Chain A
Amino acid sequence: MSSSTIPRLPAGRALRLGGSRIVDEVRGYFRQGDSVFFTFLFPIVMLTIFSTAFSNQSFGSDATGGEVSAASYYLPGMLAAGLLLSGLQNLAVDIATERSDGTLKRLAGTPLPVTSYFIGKIGQVLVTGTAQAVILLLTAWLLFGVDLPTSGEKWLTFGWVFLLGVTTSAVLGIALSQLPSSGKSATAVVIPITLVLQFISGVYLPFSQLPDWLQNVANFFPLKWMAQGMRSVFLPETFEAAEPGGVWNLVGVVLALSAWLVAGLVVCRLVFRWIRKDS
């Protein structure tokens, strides 16, 4: 018997099964209590805490002299943190756990294309990240009276920063998932990385107040650029002067995130395996 007697699978399965994986992944995500709290609700909880704790403080003023509230000030940072958590933190921990608990091994024994698996993961990040951003925006708008942008141009910027940011973050999460040696150590390896990045990238602390050397370190990592892109959308133009070089530097945002996206894709292509073969 030769291999030609084995029937060929129909073409175009990868996309259809990718869609089926997205449904399965999103369902599983919302049934996992810790992922719902630590990646989905976390930025929303933090926005609520900061907005409430600093509700009497002014964070600056816009061109007409209107005061910028804590909620307005922190919203872009929390949106950026959401991109990092929903993409990088979520997938790095999720895939490391799936490698360790046998999920990947089981899938590797089925005719599921690897492409479909990744469509499922990235789709899950897109769906949950979008839902998270929508809830963040609604919380800021309805609960804390933040004025959301009215110009289409701003929303267009939001759209591409979100999409480029969440995709880059997801791909980097897949790459980083190779690092933890077991599922149990995954959160211990991944969460310190994302936590430090949030502190140095202008999510919790004003970026302009960090020392130059720390800004330079943060410049190297993608979260700083996601936060900067989000600030350009949600903060008044009077805040632009406080940015590095006094400009929002959206070209820099595109370049930095694209570079990380490409680097992440290369690493995924080189290191991802269904299972660690022993030889």
Chain B
Amino acid sequence: MTTTDAAISVRDLRKTYGAVTALDGVGFDIAHGETFALLGPNGAGKSTTIEILEGYRDRSSGEATVLGVDPGRGGLDWKARLGIVLQSTGESGNTTVREQLAHFAGFYPHPRDVDEVIAAVGLVEKQKTLIRKLSGGQRRRVDVALGIIGNPALLFLDEPTTGFDPESRRQFWQLIRSLKSEGTTILLTTHYLDEAANLGDRAGIIAGGRLIDIGTVDEIGGADARVPLVRWVDEGVQREERTGSPATLVARLVRENGGAELAGLEVVRPSLEDVYLELVGAYERSGGGGLDTPAPRPMGSDDAEVRA
């Protein structure tokens, strides 16, 4: 993939706050129409990366291009093509859902239909309610609605489903899938690995300001990390074994057990979450990959609003 056909292109992105290195040479491309999940622990640099790409922060060095524009210099024309869902905010919320959406729709040259957006985020019954009177999850849905009202070519979603109940999360996924099918490029950060697995085409894992792995959601972490795990209890002791042929192993164990059932038997196919935890755990055990500075966690970790 070359930079010319990428929606987002990042090369050797660095960000320092005084002596603290928040990003230490991150690079990736996101193709048009792709959904890319940026994963990583708190303070790893996810929000710093996404806020540089949104134009909120200046990078210390490296290159970044977003829809063909340097995000540090993006003007209003450029912003009209973006949809940004920030981490939760605490605005006064003195407008109703409908008023707020209709108002923001006016900012954009080709907005979506206000009614359609309200329906898509499931707030039809709450559309005449003041935003400050909504629950946390409902307010978050307003944030998402404001992010898509301008019909963006590129949508940034920074931990969009925090505070959602499981049903709302499924509805939200459905909404994102329909945006994907319309060709919207999406950059997503999330702590819910099932969310990343469900929505993402590719994922990148950031730890300590570095991209420690990148790949399709099915392949990230490598083939070995995907080998199924068989767990059982043998005379009160928890046992586990990784094997590419779990059924054969289970059959052998049953045979050795005189045809009896095995206690506590599980066959686990590592999920994205398992792979992620393994990768981040390995990174941390290795001492953070030899950064010059200690843990790259500026004050307030990666909570965007702290420094905003």
Q: Does the CB pair B79–A32 fall under 8 Å?
A: no
Contact A279 B107 (CB under 8 A): no
Select A277's contact among B57, B60, B84, beta carbons within 8 Å. Answer: B57
One digit per residue, 1 when the CB lies within 8 angstroms of any chain A CB and 0 when it does not, for chain B 144-164 equals 001000100000000000000
Q: Which residues on the B side are within 8 Å of A111 (C-beta)?
A: 76-77, 79-80, 107-108, 150
Asked if A7 is an interface residue, CB under 8 A from chain B, the answer is yes
The one of A9, A20, A97, A109 in contact with B56, judged by C-beta atoms closer than 8 angstroms, is A109
B91 touches A102 (CB 8 A): yes
CB proximity to B under 8 Å, residues A19-44 = 20, 24, 27-28, 31-32
User: Measured between alpha carbons, how far is A105 from B91 in the docked complex, in Å?
Assistant: 10
Q: How many A residues touch B, CB cutoff 8 Å?
A: 35
**Interface residue count on the B side (C-beta < 8 Å):** 40
Assess the B104–A110 pair: CB atoms within 8 A.
yes
Asked if A237 is an interface residue, CB under 8 A from chain B, the answer is: no
Q: Is the CB of A31 within 8 A of B107?
A: no
Asked if B95 is at the interface (CB within 8 A of a chain A CB), the reply is yes
| Prevailing SS type, chain A contact patch | loop
Q: Please tell me if A269 contacts chain B, counting CB pairs below 8 Å.
A: no
| Chain A neighbourhood of B54, CB < 8 A | 109
CB-contact partner of B77 in A9, A31, A101, A105, under 8 A: A9
Nearest Cβ distance between residue A18 and chain B, in whole angstroms? 11
Partner of B57, one of A103, A112, A279: A279
Pairwise interchain contact A106-B146, C-beta atoms closer than 8 A: yes
B106 within 8 A of A: yes
Contacts of A6 in B (CB 8 A): 67-69, 77-78, 81
- B308, A105: Cβ atoms closer than 8 Å: yes
- Binary CB contact string for chain B from 185 to 198 against chain A (1 if under 8 A, 0 otherwise): 00000000000000
Residue B252 interfacial (CB < 8 Å)? no
Question: Which residues on the A side are within 8 Å of B67 (C-beta)?
Answer: 1, 6
Which residues of B line the A interface, CB within 8 A? 4-5, 17, 54-58, 60, 67-69, 76-82, 84, 86, 89-92, 94-95, 99, 103-104, 106-109, 130, 146, 150, 305, 307-308
Q: What would be 19 A-B contacts, judged by CB atoms less than 8 Å apart?
A: A5-B68, A6-B68, A7-B109, A9-B76, A9-B77, A20-B103, A28-B94, A31-B94, A106-B91, A108-B56, A110-B107, A111-B150, A113-B76, A275-B56, A275-B308, A276-B307, A276-B308, A278-B58, A279-B58
Which residues of A pack against B, CB within 8 Å?
Answer: 1-3, 5-10, 16-17, 20, 24, 27-28, 31-32, 97-98, 101-103, 105-106, 108-113, 275-279
